[in-house]
Amino acid sequence: MIEEGRALFLQIAEQVEDSIIDGALPEEGQAPSTNELAAFYRINPATAAKGIGMLVDKGILYKRRGIGMFVAVGARDTLLAERREAFATRFIDPLLLEARKLSLDTDELASLIRTRDGAALTPPTTEGTSS
C-alpha cells in the first residue's frame, strides 16, 4: 500500500480519506489512532500524526478529548467534492483541450465517451475459441 516517492504522511491521509469515501469509516465513526496507523504501516507515529493532522486541519476529522479522532459530519461530501475537482483538473481539462484541437464538439465528445465506456464494460471476445 505504501508507494515509494510519495510522502508517507500524504499516503496515510489519502488512505483514511479513501476509507471515508468508500464508507468503511462513516461520519461520526472513530478513525484509527496514529499509533494504530503507525503499527499497521510500520512507520513512525509522528509521520502518521502528520497525516491525521492534515485531515484535522481540513475539517475531515476532529478530536474528542480522551477518546480519539472521529470523522466529521459532511466529511464524505467534502472529500468527494475535492476529488471531483481534482479529477476535472487532471483529466477533464486536458481532454477538453485535445477535443478542441480535434474539432470535436460536446456532443461528439460525449458520444465518444459513451462508446468507450460501453466498450470498457464489455468483456473481450476470444476469437477462434469454442465453448
Q: Work out how many domains the chain is built from and give that number.
A: 2
In a domain, 95, yes or no: yes
Residue 60 and residue 14 in contact, taking contact as beta carbons nearer than 8 Å: no
Q: Is residue 55 part of a domain?
A: yes
Nearest-angstrom CA–CA distance, 112 and 130: 32
Among 37, 52, 73, the domain-final residue is: 73
Reported pTM: 0.78
Can you give the CATH number for the domain in which 30 is found? Answer: 1.10.10.10
Q: Which of 72, 24, 66, 80 is nearest to 52 (CA)?
A: 72
pLDDT tens per residue, range 62-118? 999 999 999 999 999 999 999 999 999 999 999 999 999 999 999 999 999 999 888
Residue 128 lies in a domain: no
Domain that holds residue 36: 8-73
Cβ–Cβ contacts within 10 Å for residue 76, how many? 19
- Residues 35 and 59 reside in one and the same domain: yes
* 53 and 28 in a common domain: yes
Q: What are phi and psi of 119, to 5 degrees?
A: -65, -35
